[in-house]
Amino acid sequence: MIVDRQGRRFRNLRVSLTSACNYACTYCVPDGKRLVAAQDELSAEAMARGVAYLIEAAGIERLRITGGEPLVSPKLEAFLASVSTLGLDDISLTTNGQLLTRKLPLLIDAGIRRLNVSLDTLDPDAFRRIARGGDLATVLDGMAKASQAGMSIKVNMVPLRGQNHDQVVPLLDYCLERGYELRFIELMRMGHLASDSNAFLQQFVSLQQLLQMIGEGHEYLQADAPIDATALRYEVPGRGHFGIIANESVPFCRTCSRLRLSSTGWLHGCLSSSNRHYIGDLLDKPRHQALPALQRLLMKALGDKQPVAFSGGATVMKIIGG
Ligand code: SAM
């Protein structure tokens, strides 16, 4: 097992199935251009082999499928069919929910039981302004259908000052009423937000500010969370839970166990580092040749992790997956 001096190792793998997306969220895609799949995207089979090799070489236990938008990828079905046979403890998926109703039977058949659905507002106008694509009612309907089918749903919201911060409490109530767990994600200094401090600071809403807004109308208590969890978790007694991923306010790099694989075959050990390591060429090789080379690259990727805090990075979620 590859472990660093801080005792960190890779347990959680996030695979970006494609960089294509049917949204162009303002904080992720500053120029608003629709994201398409990279020309050198790996096949579903190669990506699934990558997952299998990483399970062996790094001790990966849990997989999250992300993007871009994973539900737009034509590789989804073949990828799910392969990775669902690999004996992972958990496979989950992050989606904007636009195609959820349509793809639900496929997800259920593949054994997916946990979804993170990104939703920044319940206001249709603000939704169009932020996501620059999609339709709010379709997302809400997809979540309801997934929940009725027995899926556990977490909702990801990035609070942005002046754009959707008035939605913090309404969205929390909406989620509590339906048994969804809301995760507020503090805005991260990635891509254009890493190089433009003003744009970042103007929009940033902190953990403290979120708790203050919530505390005005809700009682909450701190709840338990796994040691390598990214989110601080809170209970609203009698109603449910919510979480805050406080990258800036309470950095969690010290216990980070995440590894990312891009749709074009690059490993990323840290969101805050622009280092990446190509494994696409190893995926055609038999196991005994691929694994030693992969282990060397994993050591480098682990060495890319920040010791304490996320300090921003040129890479963007749309490429390496949130
Ligand atoms: N398309 C899928 C979705 O919408 O969930 C998966 C990919 S998306 C890049 C994953 C998550 O990253 C979303 O919840 C999104 O809000 C978040 N994200 C993207 N850029 C971010 C940033 N600069 N700061 C915080 N969260 C960000």
The residue type of 31 is D
Query: Mean of the pLDDT values across residues 71-89?
Result: 97
Percent of residues, the chain, with pLDDT higher than 70:
97
Range of the domain at 227: 12-320
CATH number at residue 221: 3.20.20.70
Per-residue pLDDT tens over the stretch 48-75: 999 999 999 999 999 999 999 999 999 9
Quick check: is 300 in a domain? yes
Per-residue pLDDT tens over the stretch 86-129: 999 999 999 999 999 999 999 999 999 999 999 999 999 999 99
Q: Which of 231, 298, 310 is nearest to 259 (CA)?
A: 298
Per-residue pLDDT tens over the stretch 180-210: 999 999 999 988 898 889 999 999 999 999 9
Model confidence, pTM: 0.96
Query: Mean of the pLDDT values across residues 257-261?
Result: 97
Query: Nearest 5°: phi and psi at 155?
Result: -110, 130
Quick check: is 163 in a domain? yes
Residue-level pLDDT at 321: 65
Binned at pLDDT 50, 70 and 90, residue 320 comes out as low
Quick check: is 7 in a domain? no
Quick check: is 172 in a domain? yes
At residue 301, does pLDDT exceed 90?
yes
Residue-level pLDDT at 3: 95
Per-residue pLDDT tens over the stretch 213-257: 999 999 999 999 888 788 999 999 999 999 999 999 998 899 999
Distance 214 CA to ligand 1 centre (A): 22
Query: Mean of the pLDDT values across residues 150-171?
Result: 98
Q: Closest residue (by CA) to atom 7 of ligand 1?
A: 67
Structure tokens at 144: 């309801």
Residue-level pLDDT at 165: 96
Residue-level pLDDT at 316: 67
Tell me which residue has tokens 């039981």: 113
Quick check: is 2 in a domain? no
Quick check: is 42 in a domain? yes
Distance 126 CA to ligand 1 centre (A): 17
Quick check: is 6 in a domain? no
The number of folded domains in the chain is 1
> Given the CA of residue 94, which atom of ligand 1 is nearest to it?
5
Residues whose CB falls within 8 Å of the CB of residue 171, separated by 6 or more in sequence, listed in order? 119, 121, 122, 155, 157, 182
Distance 49 CA to ligand 1 centre (A): 25
What is the overall mean pLDDT for the chain? 94
Quick check: is 246 in a domain? yes
Q: How many residues does the chain have?
A: 322
What is the C-alpha radius of gyration for the chain, rounded to an integer number of angstroms? 19
Residue-level pLDDT at 196: 87
Q: Give the containing element (helix H, strand E) for 185.
A: strand 181-185
Residue-level pLDDT at 319: 66
- Per the model's pLDDT, the better-predicted residue between 321 and 97 turns out to be 97
> Given the CA of residue 28, which atom of ligand 1 is nearest to it?
20
Pocket test for ligand 1, best of 36, 118, 206 (most atoms within 8 A of CB): 118
Using CB atoms within 10 A of its CB, is residue 146 exposed (0-12), middle (13-18) or buried (19+)? buried
Residue-level pLDDT at 130: 97
At residue 133, does pLDDT exceed 70?
yes
| Alpha carbons 54 and 262: distance in angstroms, whole number | 13
Ligand 1 interacting residues, C-beta cut-off 6 A: 21, 27-28, 66-67, 69, 94-96, 118, 156, 158, 185, 187-188, 190, 193, 317-318, 321-322
Cβ atoms 258, 267 nearer than 8 A: no
Distance 187 CA to ligand 1 centre (A): 10
Residue-level pLDDT at 195: 84
Give the 3-state secondary structure of residue 162.
coil
Q: Closest residue (by CA) to atom 4 of ligand 1?
A: 96
